[in-house]
Amino acid sequence: ADASASIWDVSQLVCLTVLTRIEWAVRGLSFGCQSQLIALASEDPYIEIAKVDTGERVHALKCDVQTLAVAWHPKASVLAYVQDDDSGSVRLFGVLD
């Protein structure tokens, strides 16, 4: 594992962008419901949320401990994530319509 995530156009086998703002290994990633956003989980104290087409940061969601997994809601801009803590909680970030 490394501290980057590459976005590829598999139909043309071309790397479109590489997300490199995180410092620790990527532990999980998830594409948003319309495939416009990507969320990266890592050992960093935040979750990186970026635009898929440009790699531009949309938000850095602050976390107290490393994030183990992320998953976008299939129809809404809501991100579920799990951190490496004793609570066992699934947290949500975003807005439900």
pLDDT above 60: residue 97: no
- Global confidence as pTM: 0.86
Residue 30 carries which side chain, given as an amino acid letter? S
Over residues 45-89, the pLDDT tens digits come to: 999 999 998 999 999 999 988 999 999 999 999 999 999 888 888
Instruction: Return the pLDDT at 87.
Output: 84
Domain coordinates in residue numbering, the chain: 21-94
Give me the CATH code for the 21-94 domain, please.
2.40.10
E-strand ranges in 32-96 read: 37-42, 46-51, 57-62, 67-72, 78-83, 90-94
Q: Tokens representing 62?
A: 């602050």
